[in-house]
Amino acid sequence: MSLSLAEAELTLLVESPLFSGLDREMVLWLVEAAYVEFHRDGGTLFRQGDAADRFFLVLDGRVNLFVLTEAGAHTIIEVMERGQMFAEAAMFMNARFPVNAEMSVDTRVLTLPGPAFLSRLEQKGALAARLFASMAHWQRRLTREIADLKSRSPAQRVGLFLLARSQSSDQSSVRLPLAMTELASRIGITPESLSRIMARLRPLGVAANRSEVIITDADALRRFCQG
In the chain, where are the structural domains located? 7-147, 152-226
The predicted pLDDT at position 170 comes to: 53
What's the pLDDT score for residue 137? 62
Residues with Cβ within 8 Å of 55's Cβ and at least 6 positions away in sequence, in order, are 85, 86, 87, 88, 90, 91, 111, 112, 114, 117
pLDDT score, position 100 = 92
pLDDT tens digits along 157-169: 888 888 877 765 5
- CB 82, CB 140: distance < 8 Å: no
Q: What is the pTM of this model?
A: 0.71
Question: How high is the pLDDT of residue 35?
Answer: 95
Q: Of 1 and 194, which is predicted with more confidence?
A: 194
pLDDT reported for residue 103: 92
Residue 67: closest CA among 45, 42, 97, 100: 100
> pLDDT tens digits, residue range 20-75?
878 899 999 999 999 999 999 889 999 999 999 999 999 999 898 888 767 666 77
Mean pLDDT across 119-130: 79
Q: What percent of the chain has pLDDT over 70?
A: 85
According to the model, what pLDDT value does residue 172 have? 56
pLDDT at 122: 85
What are the tens digits of pLDDT across the range 159-207?
A: 888 887 776 555 556 777 777 887 887 777 788 888 999 999 999 999 8
Q: What is the pLDDT of residue 55?
A: 95
Distance, CA of 145 to CA of 128 (rounded, Å) = 26
**Among 1.10.3720.10, 2.120.10.30, 1.20.950.20, 2.60.120.10, what is the CATH number of 7-147?**
2.60.120.10
pLDDT at 129 over 90: no
Its CATH architecture, for the domain 152-226, is: Orthogonal Bundle (1.10)
3: phi then psi, degrees, rounded to nearest 5: -65, 135
